[in-house]
Amino acid sequence: DIVMTQSPLSLPVTPGEPASISCRSSQSLLHRNGNNYLDWYLQKTGQSPQLLIYMGSNRAPGVPDRFSGSGSGTDFTLRISRVEAEDVGVYYCMQALQTPQTFGQGTKLEIK
């Protein structure tokens, strides 16, 4: 199975400031079709996860443009340009290249 490693695991951020989360995979997520099969999800407290970014850099429908994803191969980054209070929760990266899909440990974003 592909191992996903996130950092940091805890991320205190001041509202209005940027934030970034790193995700590394144990093998390349770049498919021969040119897509990187890396997704980002946000799970707010008491809620089910929601898709933020798919295929490395594509925002899911309805996701604010302050969220962006980048990277290729084995190294990926989720960036929030200006953190808002509603962005609090646990962020997970997940490889969608092969079964079983595997998740990172999660990064807990909190407001300072």
Residues contributing to the site for another protein (CB under 8 A): 31, 33, 35, 37, 39, 41, 43, 48-51, 54-55, 58, 60-61, 92, 94, 96-106
CA 2 to chain centre: 16
Q: Residue 14 or residue 88: which is nearer to another protein going by CB? A: 88
Cα separation values, 112 from 14, 19, 22, Å = 5, 12, 20
When the beta carbons of 14 and 26 are compared against another protein, the nearer one is 26
Q: How far is the CB of 102 from another protein (least distance, A)?
A: 7
Question: Which tokens sit at 97?
Answer: 């290249």
Helix (H, G, I), strand (E, B) or coil at 57: coil
Between CA 24 and CA 41 the distance in angstroms is 15
User: In whole angstroms, how close is the CB of 104 to another protein at the nearest point?
Assistant: 8
User: Measured from the CB atom, is 60 or 88 closer to another protein?
Assistant: 60
